[in-house]
Structure 1
């Protein structure tokens, strides 16, 4: 009886491992990013222009069903945008072009349709990502020379908090090129959940200043 139970458990584990499928690939993601700015007054801190960014990374899709996969990996992404703030003391508005670089791990689920055309499936992606800032620039420089008192020279990356959490919604298609090679093309929206500001509230005294990341990306990749 004990031997039969061991055989049954071993068979179940073997079948489970055999049914699991992992697909690994690479992607590149040109994107349009901006910073959602907000203050209680609505005018002290404002979002201005978006910026073009480029990201990419590794795709890891772990299938737990024929049309269902847990999708993760490692991504290097660019974010940021232009914002302006109003200084009450001299009644003047200043603008900053903020460029940020993040390293992040996506934690999402992908849902696939059956073939909608020959060797072609549509997918829908939902989840989020956890990441952190690894580099930053303001007005193209790694250091920021503050035009207002205390007129300090500070590292641009110190103007934002390190962690970031975002939600991700995406859709696209996968096209089977060969036995294990697939081309991926899709679009995704990434909405930052954390207020990343450490400068406008602390240094400029803008009460309840809020900056959050947003990104629209074109996802192009290949899985092996």
Structure 2
């Protein structure tokens, strides 16, 4: 079974989808990768339509009575989990791009993933949302085997010329989770996304490519453990969101 990597932050505008597609694209050079687009905006799905894209896309927005999966039933959560598990049986990695808000689909992904990558941009609102995100990850971890999902906080769109950019690393380390390599603010990420390519294919040997490769190497080198199944928590995945 392939490794399931969720990319999440409960605040929009942190570059979550850009990180997800670039991690998927970098992994796809050596592995079979499925990108699951769980965000109703479907930006990741649009990206995979680019030329020469090696990443397979699957659209799995959780069925619900509310927008974006917020009102999903327990049965809907189980169907979504089984769909993602099915993708993992046919790939080395499954990268899940999640919506930027508290919802049942995010809770279900945290109940299933081995790793959650949390992109964080500099700013007070972003840090508050990141604290809520890591609290939700910690709850999912406690409901499982106590070690999964792993969490990697990724400083994103960082401009070291600014005070907030320079301080981001130290603020993230206060949250008690692993802090991955820094991704700097670079215009090439926008042009590569528009081209439907990961930045290494769009701008080979660029500094942006090197940063994504460093993140993927960091991801690969994290301790590899099998996650406990979501059913082991004793509570439906949807309850992880409703209780926070």
Same fold (TM over 0.5): no
TM range (shorter): under 0.3
Question: Higher RCO, 1 or 2 (CA under 8 Å, sep at least 6)?
Answer: 2
**Which structure dedicates a bigger proportion of its chain to helix?**
2
- TM-score using structure 2 length: 0.25
Bigger Rg, which one? 1
